[in-house]
Amino acid sequence: MHFFYLDESGDTGANLADQHQPIFVLGGISVRDEGWNATQEHLAGIISDYFSGDTPDGFELHSKELLCPAGDGPFAGHDLQARCELALRLLGLLAERAHGVHYLAIDKQALAAANHTAPVPYGSDQPYPIGFDYLITYINWYVRSRLGISARGMVILDQKDQHHSLIEQLMHERRFGGAATHRIKWVVEFSYSVDSQKNPMVQLSDLVIYCTKRFIEIEKGHRDTWSEDAKNFYAKCYSIIRDRVARTTLVERNGRHMDRLNTFITSVRAEPRLQWRRHYNLPAG
């Protein structure tokens, strides 16, 4: 069994004109069932090292607290460089522990200008269901193509009350609706995290998605006033993340009229420029 965690950043619902949140990202990390405990121990060790063996009681990793300019929560007043180095060490677990990354980034301006007539139970006014439906397609492809026919996937996500009914509907539709050849077969279950705030895999997914969103915002010109150091830091973070994405081209959904959905997702998907590593003087992936 492989666990696929989903977290989101930049979710403002149907408000697609929020200048402070121009990009939406849904995604996270994937973990083998036998690898969960080891990753948790490694993550706890990195956090303990950062706090010199005295991790605050009830500590939870929140990316905004870690990476905001002045630090917040348990990171309030901490040196920015030290916090950035901590973020890079945590992201280094992705390669060290051989975890995959899956995500879809959506440009809200492009979404506001787009529409689709694909036979799916949602429109184009909110990015979350679009991202969720696409990632089910991606995860099903990943399990089938990369893990073998005996493998199965479970999706674990934060419970979002505003999206709960549609998520239930989408999963039922993908499992039992339409032609049998196009149904989801390798994602056997999805579940809400029992205690998402204290789940280290959710916390690591939050860091991955937060850094991805920030870098895409930079690439799309929304953070031009940021310093070069900040831009280069998020480029370095994204380079680590991108190397763990199994497929960067769109996984197309098959079925009648699904070409319309594939075209729509392509039109709203937010990705960096083609030569982004060269732009930031990073080695090729």
* The pLDDT value given to residue 276: 97
Q: What percent of the chain has pLDDT over 70?
A: 98
Number of other residues whose CB lies within 10 A of the CB of residue 58:
8
Average pLDDT of span 243-271: 96
* The pLDDT value given to residue 197: 54
The residue assigned the tokens 């920030």 is 214
Of 82, 87, 104, 89, the residue nearest 27 (C-alpha): 104
**What's the pLDDT tens digit per position in 135-150?**
999 999 999 999 988 9
pLDDT of 64 over the 80 cut = yes
* The pLDDT value given to residue 285: 73
Mean pLDDT over all residues of the chain? Answer: 93
Helices (H), 80-227: 80-91, 93-96, 108-113, 127-142, 164-176, 200-219
| All structural domains of the chain with their residue ranges | 2-33+100-279
* The pLDDT value given to residue 157: 86
Please give the model's pTM, rounded to 2 decimal places. 0.96
In terms of pLDDT, which residue wins out, 199 or 27? Answer: 27
In terms of pLDDT, which residue wins out, 190 or 118? Answer: 118
* The pLDDT value given to residue 179: 87
Given pLDDT bands bounded at 50, 70 and 90, which one contains residue 164? confident
pLDDT of 277 over the 60 cut = yes
* The pLDDT value given to residue 101: 98
pLDDT of 27 over the 80 cut = yes
**CA-to-CA distance for 223 and 217, rounded, in angstroms?**
6
pLDDT of 196 over the 60 cut = no
With H, G, I as helix, E, B as strand and everything else as coil, classify residue 127. Answer: helix
Average pLDDT of span 92-114: 97
Provide the b/e sequence for 231-267 (b: ≥16 CB within 10 Å). bebbbbbbbbbbebbeeeebbebebeebeebbebbee
What number of H helices and E strands is found in the chain?
Answer: 11, 5
Given pLDDT bands bounded at 50, 70 and 90, which one contains residue 38? very high
* The pLDDT value given to residue 105: 98
What angle is formed at CA 213 by the lines to CA 208 and CA 214, rounded to 5 degrees? Answer: 100
**What's the pLDDT tens digit per position in 80-92?**
999 999 999 999 9
* The pLDDT value given to residue 163: 85
* The pLDDT value given to residue 158: 76
pLDDT of 254 over the 80 cut = yes
pLDDT of 241 over the 90 cut = yes
Query: Hey, what amino acid is at 262?
Result: N
Given pLDDT bands bounded at 50, 70 and 90, which one contains residue 195? low
